[in-house]
A and B are shown apart, each in its own frame.
Chain A
């Protein structure tokens, strides 16, 4: 089975600074990778996903992520964050043969300070 490790439980950053949220995965088969954002007391919103093709994936709200197969990573980046980006971010993985079996990381709390 696949698994996900989000290396940072909390990431504080100042407004307009760049940010990277780290995600590493483990799987014996090919995977699909996802980043979701969760605002307080809300469900998950898909930021971006990697299914195949270009390893650099662009998502909503100015976020992007790069799939690195050799390092089994899928780090999320944004060049300049806003206060409104403060939220919980979840990395998730599913294998290509059973996309419905999705495993989530523990989450990273991004706090953007003025």
Chain B
């Protein structure tokens, strides 16, 4: 199989604080991981592409300093929402691929609520 986990599944934080979300590939090594954002009743929007050992590639309109991505190993990528504000509240989903050009496997998502 190809299982991807995310932690935490839900998080509530105060405005101005930073939140870290982890994405792990449990039974395979992921050369590339992706971070998506999903607003209520909307589709997934790609935020960034994360390659192990290199800087993430951000989509147009996504603030690099706001959404820090680290892909420190072949099984772990983290997304840190810095100085979170209520408008950052959303469902964040990661995905991972074993090798370039292969199928993306999605994590269960993290619900972030910023008060």
Interface residues of B (CB under 8 A from A): 4, 6, 32, 34, 41-44, 46, 49, 91, 93, 95, 97, 100-109, 111
Contact = CB atoms under 8 A, between A and B. Distances in A.
Interface in A1-47: 36, 41-46
Contacts of A42: 108-109
Interface residues of A, number: 18
14 contacts: A43-B107, A43-B108, A43-B109, A44-B44, A45-B106, A90-B43, A90-B44, A100-B49, A100-B101, A100-B104, A101-B46, A102-B46, A106-B42, A107-B43
A98 B44 CA distance: 18
A43 B6 contact: yes
Given A43-B6, A99-B101, A99-B102, A104 B107 contact: no
A104 B109 contact: no
Interface in A44-93: 44-46, 49, 90
A49 B32 contact: no
Which of A36, A43, A49, A90 has its CB near the most chain B CB atoms (within 10 A)?
A: A43
Contacts of A98: 101
Query: Top 7 closest A-B pairs, CB basis?
Result: A44-B106, A43-B108, A99-B101, A43-B106, A104-B43, A43-B109, A104-B44
Contacts of B100: 99-100
A102 B104 contact: yes
A36 B46 CA distance: 15
A46 to B, nearest CB: 7
A104 B106 CA distance: 13
